[in-house]
Amino acid sequence: MTAVALRAAHTPAYGAGAALAELTDVRELLTTTYGRVLLVKGAVVALALLFALVARLRALPQAPVLSLPLLRRLTRGEAVSLAVVLGAAAALSNVAPPYVTPAPHAAASALLGAPPPIGPTVHVAGPAGWLEVYLTASRGQLALDVRLEGRVLT
């Protein structure tokens, strides 16, 4: 029972954390389609867990014959809510999370490495054990390359 309860709490928390990592601001939960679908999915997951909890606490401890109608209603509600969760998950997979366009220089530096040196330049290189270290200094810039057998590590 305890392991099931922990898993029931852990799995939605992990999923919510992973989905919220896609957002850069809390307001995006209300201002983007991705955020609104995420809120709906989270609310319906909470509703399904509530149905399961009520069924466990109210319907199962009693004599099964007396609580069968209640258990059927709760199970039906849980099944419907889980079907809605599945639909919301499908919708999330088709809705793009909010995307923040990086500044042009940030995108270029992430793809291409350091910009070329400007003005007078000093190049220093030397071995450091199995590594080769290359240092380039120019006006306002210091670039460091570390290589192992010709492959750039930085």
| pLDDT grade for 56, boundaries at 50, 70 and 90 | confident
3-state per-residue secondary structure call for the chain: CHHHHHHHHHHHHHHHHHHHCCCCCCCHHHHCHHHHHHHHHHHHHHHHHHHHHHHHHHHCCCCHHHHHHHHHHHHHHHHHHHHHHHHHHHHHHHCCCCCCCCCHHHHHHHHHCCCCCCCCCEEEEEEECCEEEEEEEECCEEEEEEEECCEECC
Residue 49 has pLDDT above 80, yes or no: yes
43 compared with 109, residue with greater pLDDT: 43
- Map out the domains of the chain as residue ranges: 2-94, 109-152
pLDDT at 110: 54
Phi, psi of 139 (to 5 degrees): -60, 115
**Closest Cα partner for 135 from 149, 148, 117, 118?**
117
Range 30-35 average pLDDT: 90
pLDDT confidence of residue 152: 66
Quote the pLDDT of residue 44.
94
Whether the predicted pLDDT of 83 surpasses 70: yes
User: Amino acid letter at 81?
Assistant: S
Average per-residue pLDDT for the chain: 80
- For residues 79-83, average pLDDT: 95
**pLDDT per position as a tens digit, 91-146:** 988 888 887 665 555 555 555 666 777 888 888 888 877 788 888 888 888 888 88
**Confidence at 47, pLDDT banded by 50, 70, 90:** very high
Mean pLDDT of 11-35: 83
To the nearest whole percent, how much of the chain has pLDDT over 90?
19
CB 122 within 8 A of CB 134: no
